[in-house]
Amino acid sequence: MRIGLDAMGGDFGPKEVVAGAVAAREYLSNGDVIVLVGREDVVREHLGENDGCDGIEVYHAEQAIGMGESPVDALRTKPKSSIAVMTALHRHGELDACISAGNTGACVAAAQMGLRRLKGVHRPGISVLAPTFAGPLAICDCGANVNCRPINLYQYGVMTSVYMKAVCGIETPRVGLLSVGEEETKGNSLVKKSSELLRADPRVNFIGHVEGNDLLRDVMDVMICEGFVGNVVLKLVEGLGFGLIKGLHKQLAEAIPDQMPRVDEALGALARKYDFNQYGGAPLLGVDGIWFICHGASTHCGIQSAVREAIQFAHRGVNQQITEQLTGR
Amino acid sequence: MRIGLDAMGGDFGPKEVVAGAVAAREYLSNGDVIVLVGREDVVREHLGENDGCDGIEVYHAEQAIGMGESPVDALRTKPKSSIAVMTALHRHGELDACISAGNTGACVAAAQMGLRRLKGVHRPGISVLAPTFAGPLAICDCGANVNCRPINLYQYGVMTSVYMKAVCGIETPRVGLLSVGEEETKGNSLVKKSSELLRADPRVNFIGHVEGNDLLRDVMDVMICEGFVGNVVLKLVEGLGFGLIKGLHKQLAEAIPDQMPRVDEALGALARKYDFNQYGGAPLLGVDGIWFICHGASTHCGIQSAVREAIQFAHRGVNQQITEQLTGR
């Protein structure tokens, strides 16, 4: 298996990505290779003594897309960017997977334009594993598709169930549809129509409508919503979690200054439970290929996790299973 | 001023509402009256020794709408419910304001069906003051309107700015539009079109697009979004805040059990910052009347705050100012 890794992507630049690639070699089987795509001189400099080691190759791409650039414009004006070059390699069969912590919109656009969709899939969706007190919760879609139709939400339910079963080992993942009340009568027309489709498929373990506060209760394994809402929820959960832990730290530092080493230890344990780096990347489900999008602020640990997940995704045949479910074959 | 208060609404029933009414008498001027609407025998029982005191009246309503009932069905089948009766009194000029901690959907539907809209207003929106580290943030709409058009979002910006200035004393409230990225190119078509309308009105202090994590940063005083998203955000913020504080408590109880009295004090201070009861009710902006919706779990403190806010809303002429802004008169 040849795994492409965008060396130029992410808030911390090539340093963390290259370190993540080196660390991820432990997951490689015989013949597997991580291909770092980016400015060759920069990548080799960061590889240092690891340059030339087993399992790591470098593929030159002259340009890089910045985090703030308009995705579609950037892809048009930067055909030699690491994201575009890596996606083209995947399309031509020279890579089996792509991973990037770069501009999410550009990753989604490159994957959607560069790769076909899996048979039966209407629109791909980003499925993010979010840490909660009760374990990981997969939220789909987190921003690939902001003009969503009922068939899309239904298919997110099918695809993310397959993914959660294959990757997290949950036999029949509980699927909730995000709405403004548990009652079927509440919600907008998109939710009501999607609900009917989800309910009609006995292969989906659909538990019905859920609300914003249900994210913290152990009621579901998969939460389905349209990309706009999913993106807002994801950023809010992350921001609020860290904001509250910070606020509490300040409060305790004033109240019990002498206890701060032990408080820091306890808060650190909680912060680690909420650390997205443990889950690495989020797959763009529904494209005919493997495309993992990492958090912009991924450390080398996050990149390392994403490589492990991309390998699992391939070995456990997630895409084949999605196609089987959606085409009935 | 005659302020109607739904005695039957809320998770804690008449007890907390009646206690809130008694406590709120301190805000009444000469001649002001709080009218408790509900089952007369029940209300008088809870009034006890306060029955007959200055500033409190009781108006009998035979029925009550439950928290889980379908709003439209409930209003149709329960014309003598406290919510329906109170709204009718307001429509006929026998009340100047309505307050309820009952079924939110029923309150919105009763207000929308029972009262006219203010001149120039297309759709009313619920404007909730949410506590953040940086002070109160008004979020509009939190669920009155789940099929939103650009003109609605624009008007929410205008109406909530008027409200924040009049009630919180913020001279030129900063208005953010919730989207999936700060860049103008990101977001769905509703956001893009609403953005143009907001930007075109120099009376709105529009700061542009904001993201989920901006709720915790001191970047805006008003956040505009469609009702579905606003409702999800509100419930998530509340659930996550209390969930995290609970999680932290558990973690610290294991780490520093001997310090728990002081930890509890610090956590309590943080929880109080997040207590919705300090803000009481949320106005349904845009109806030709005053309709405040309280959190279902409001204590007597929340009810008391809502009465104070309804009086302020009337005295500071929020509705007149909204009409002036939206009709140019």
Question: ipTM for the complex?
Answer: 0.89
Q: What is the pLDDT of residue B329?
A: 61
Choice between A263 and B222, residue whose per-residue pLDDT is larger: B222
pLDDT of residue B119: 95
The answer to whether B253 faces chain A, any CB pair under 8 Å, is no
CATH fold of the domain at B1-121+286-317: Isopropylmalate Dehydrogenase (3.40.718)
> In B, which residues are within 8 Å of A262 by CB distance?
255-256
Q: Range(s) for CATH 3.40.718.10 in chain B?
A: 1-121+286-317, 125-276
Q: How many angstroms separate the Cα of B180 from the Cα of each of A107, A262, B146? A: 15, 38, 18
**What residues of B are in contact with residue A272 (Cβ under 8 Å)?**
none
Q: What is the pTM of this model?
A: 0.91
Q: What is the mean pLDDT of chain A?
A: 93
Instruction: Tell the CATH superfamily of the A122-275 domain.
Output: Isopropylmalate Dehydrogenase (3.40.718.10)
Confidence of residue B309 (pLDDT cuts 50, 70, 90): very high
Best mutation target among B75, B236, B249, B273 (most A Cβ atoms within 10 Å) is B236
Question: Residue B192: closest CA among chain A residues belongs to which residue?
Answer: A146
CB contact (8 A) between residue B213 and residue A228:
no
pLDDT of residue A271: 78
Give the minimum alpha-carbon distance from B180 to chain A in angstroms, rounded to a whole number.
Answer: 6
The structure tokens listed for B178 are 């919730």
Question: In the predicted model, what is the mean pLDDT of residues A122-140?
Answer: 89
pLDDT in tens, B265-303: 888 887 777 777 777 899 999 999 999 999 988 999 999
Q: Which two tokens stand for residue B304?
A: 């008391």
- For CATH 3.40.718.10, list the domain ranges present in chain A: 1-120+286-320, 122-275
Does residue A37 carry a pLDDT above 90?
yes
HSE-CB of B140 using CA atoms within 13 angstroms: 30
A252 pLDDT tier (thresholds 50, 70, 90):
confident
> Residues of A numbered 5-64 whose beta carbons fall under 8 angstroms of chain B's beta carbons: which are they?
none
Q: Which of B24, B48, B180, B251 is nearest to A274 (CA)?
A: B251
Mean pLDDT across the stretch B125-152? Answer: 90
Judge whether residue A100 has pLDDT over 80.
yes
pLDDT of residue B62: 97
CB A124 within 8 A of CB A149: no
CB distance from A233 to chain B under 8 Å? yes
CA distance A212 to chain B (A): 4
Q: Does A119 touch chain B (CB under 8 A)?
A: no
- Residue A297 · residue A274 · CB < 8 Å: no
One-letter amino acid at A80 equals K
Query: CATH fold of A1-120+286-320, please?
Result: Isopropylmalate Dehydrogenase (3.40.718)
Rounded to an integer, what distance in angstroms lies between the CA atom of residue A141 and that of residue A156? 7
Give the model's pLDDT for residue A178. Answer: 97
Cβ–Cβ under 8 Å, residues A234 and A150: no
CB-closest option in A216, A232, A259 to B240: A216
A274-299 residue pLDDT tens: 777 777 899 999 999 999 999 988 99
Give the separation between CA A284 and CA B29, rounded to whole angstroms.
61
DSSP element (H, E) containing A268:
helix A260-273
Look-up of token digits 């809402």: A229
Any B CB within 8 A of A133 CB: yes
Percent of chain A scored above 70 by pLDDT? 99
Tell me whether A125 touches chain B (CB under 8 Å).
Answer: no
E-state strands within B204-322? 205-210, 222-224, 281-285, 291-294
Cα–Cα dist B11/B45, whole Å? 18
Question: What CATH number matches the domain at B125-276, 1.10.645.10, 3.40.718.10, 3.30.70.3000, 3.30.750.24?
Answer: 3.40.718.10
Confidence of residue A262 (pLDDT cuts 50, 70, 90): confident
The Cα–Cα gap between A200 and A154 comes to 10
Nearest to A310 by CA among A19, A33, A16, A15: A33
The pLDDT, as a whole number, for residue A329 is 61
Computed from CA positions of residues A18, A19, A24, A29, in that sequence, does the dihedral angle turn out positive or negative?
positive
CA–CA dist A1, B257 (Å, integer): 51
List, as ranges, residues 256-315 from B with C-beta within 8 Å of A.
256, 259, 262-263, 265-267, 269-270
The predicted model gives B85-104 an average pLDDT of 97
What value does the mean pLDDT of chain B take?
93
Contact B259 A254 (CB under 8 A): no
Q: How long a stretch of residues is chain A? A: 329
Least confident of B120-129, B212-221, B269-278: B269-278
Under 8 Å CB-to-CB from B16, ≥6 apart: which residues? B10, B101, B298, B299, B300, B303
Tell me what pLDDT residue A177 has. Answer: 97
**Is the pLDDT confidence value at B49 over 90?**
yes
- Comparing CB atoms, the residue among B239, B247, B256 nearest residue A263 is B256
CB B215 to CB A256 under 8 A?
no
Q: How far apart are CA A294 and CA A107, in angstroms?
A: 10
Contact B229/A232, CB-based, under 8 Å? yes
What would the two tokens of residue A305 be? 């996790």
Q: Please state whether beta strands B135-140 and B125-132 pair in parallel, antiparallel, or not at all (unpaired).
A: antiparallel
CB-nearest to A238 from B213, B228, B245 is: B213
Would you state the pLDDT for residue A35?
A: 98
A211 vs B: CB within 8 A: yes
Nearest by CB to residue B251, choosing from A68, A236, A266, is: A266
